[in-house]
Amino acid sequence: MAYGDYRRHRGDLRLQERRYGVRLGGEWPLLPKDPYKRALARFWIKFEADKNPIFAAFFRSTREELDDQNAIKEITEYLKILEEQALGDKKYFGGDNIGLVDITYGWLCHWFKGMEETRGVKLLEPSTVPRLHAWAANFKQLPIIKENLPDYTQLLAHGKSFREKLSASDLPRNAH
């Protein structure tokens, strides 16, 4: 693979693929064994990376810019696509067990909720995307996830502080 390299970790061979290490062999494979399902998982991981800038725009924009740029509409459409096409009727993106796609989108459960609260806009709601909302609740309750989530109060304080710094900044809004 051109975009990854192999490393040993605790005796297991791992592929360092972009941002994530994918365990090859062992108890909990993060990608499905079936080639078609593995390709779909990689597609949805890439989809998240490609669409991530709309969330950055959502967080950085003023309320007026959100309305003008249709950021809310874009995110709502994105969440619906994710719910209908990637999640479907499954409990997790990987089926009955979490996989790399769940981990990739896991930030929606906690970090995005903080962004919504900081911005005063709710998008990941049961009335809009009920299955995705249920997935987020299920995902956050997994012991390994729950134990590693940052404190929500601190997350909100950090988000508000960061927004204030963005507002006070002389940088143009579209600068990266």
| 176 within a domain of the structure (yes/no) | no
Number of structural domains (the chain) is 2
Rounded Cα gap, residues 159 and 27, in angstroms: 36
One domain, residues 112 and 39 = yes
Q: What is the reported pLDDT for 55?
A: 87
Q: Mean pLDDT for the chain?
A: 81
| 24 and 39 both lie in a single domain | no
User: Each residue of 145-172: pLDDT tens digit?
Assistant: 999 999 999 999 988 888 888 766 645 5
Q: Nearest to residue 76, comparing CAs of 2, 145, 146, 127?
A: 127
Tokens of 170: 């002389």
If one compares 173 and 92, the residue with the highest pLDDT of the two is 92
pLDDT of residue 153: 93
Whether residues 18 and 68 share a domain: the answer is no
Q: What CATH number corresponds to the domain at position 54?
A: 1.20.1050.10
Q: Are residue 58 and residue 85 in the same domain, yes or no?
A: yes
Backbone phi and psi for residue 6, each to the nearest 5 degrees, phi listed first: -100, 140
pLDDT higher than 60, residue 24: no
**High-pLDDT (> 70) share of the chain, %:** 76
pLDDT tens, residue by residue, 49-62: 999 888 888 888 77
> What percent of the chain is predicted at pLDDT more than 90?
49
What pLDDT is stored for residue 174 in this prediction? 52
Residue 79 near residue 124, CB atoms below 8 Å: yes
Q: Which domain holds residue 115?
A: 35-168
Same domain? 81 vs 60: yes
Same domain, yes or no, for 96 and 131? Answer: yes
In-domain check, residue 98: yes
Least confident of 4-8, 37-41, 123-127, 133-137: 4-8
Copy the structure tokens of residue 4: 């990854």
Is residue 40 located within the same domain as residue 121? Answer: yes
Residues 4 and 73 reside in one and the same domain: no
Q: Report whether pLDDT(93) > 90.
A: yes
Query: Are 55 and 109 members of one domain?
Result: yes
The answer to whether the pTM exceeds 0.85 is no
* 76 and 3 both lie in a single domain: no
Least confident of 6-15, 105-114, 128-137: 6-15
pLDDT above 50: residue 17: no
Q: Are residues 127 and 144 in the same domain?
A: yes
pLDDT of residue 25: 47
Are 58 and 21 members of one domain?
no
Is 175 inside a domain boundary?
Answer: no
Query: Rounded to whole angstroms, how far apart are CA atoms 31 and 21?
Result: 11
Rounded CA gap, 101 and 39, in Å? Answer: 11
